[in-house]
Amino acid sequence: MTQLLEVRDLRVQFSTAQGTATAINGVNLSLEHGQSLGILGESGSGKSVTARTIMGLLDMPPAKINGGEILLEGEDLLTATAKRRRQLTGPVMSMVFQDALSALNPVHPVGRQIGELYRVHRGYSRKAAKAAAIEMMDRVRIPAAASRVNDYPHQFSGGMRQRIVIAMALALDPQLLIADEPTTALDVTVQAQILELLKEQQAENNMGLILITHDISVVREVTDQVAVMYAGRIVEQGPTAHVLGDPRHPYTLGLSQSVANEDLKGRRLPAIEGSPPDLLALPRGCSFANRCPLADEQCSSSAPPLESVGAGRTSACFHSGKVASNVAYSN
For other proteins, the binding residues in 81-110 under the rule CB under 8 A are 85-91, 94-95, 97, 99, 102-109
3-class DSSP assignment, residue 136: helix
Please list every residue from 5 through 34 that binds other proteins, using CB under 8 A: 12-14, 16-18, 21-23
CB 159 within 8 A of CB 193: yes
Q: Contact with other proteins (CB under 8 A): which of 42, 73, 135, 221?
A: 42
Question: Which range binds other proteins by CB under 8 A, 201-209, 265-273, 302-310, 312-320?
Answer: 265-273
CA distance 33 to 53: 20
Size of the site for other proteins (CB under 8 A): 71
Q: Contact with other proteins (CB under 8 A): which of 67, 245, 274, 305?
A: 274
Report in angstroms how near the CB of residue 64 gets to other proteins at its nearest: 11
**Which of 58/327 has CB closer to other proteins?**
58
Site string for other proteins, 156-195 (x = CB under 8 A): ---------x--x---------------------------
139 is a site residue for other proteins (CB under 8 A): no
CB 90 within 8 A of CB 172: yes
Return the biggest CA–CA distance within the chain. Answer: 67
Q: Contact with other proteins (CB under 8 A): which of 255, 289, 303, 309?
A: 255
**Which of 152/326 has CB closer to other proteins?**
152
Question: Which range binds other proteins by CB under 8 A, 28-36, 242-250, 278-286, 310-318?
Answer: 278-286
Measured N-to-C along each axis, helices 126-139 and 110-122 cross at an angle, to the nearest 10 degrees, of: 120
CB 72 within 8 A of CB 92: yes
Question: Which range binds other proteins by CB under 8 A, 193-201, 242-250, 273-281, 318-326?
Answer: 273-281
Question: Which range binds other proteins by CB under 8 A, 137-145, 199-207, 212-220, 319-327?
Answer: 212-220
**Which of 212/301 has CB closer to other proteins?**
212
Report in angstroms how near the CB of residue 213 gets to other proteins at its nearest: 9
Q: Shortest CA distance to 313 belongs to which of 206, 210, 226?
A: 226
Q: Shortest CA distance to 64 belongs to which of 53, 55, 79?
A: 53
CA distance 313 to 226: 10
Please, which residues have CB within 8 angstroms of residue 172's CB and are 6 or more apart in sequence? 90, 91, 94, 117, 118, 121, 122
Helices then strands, each counted (H, E), the chain = 13, 12
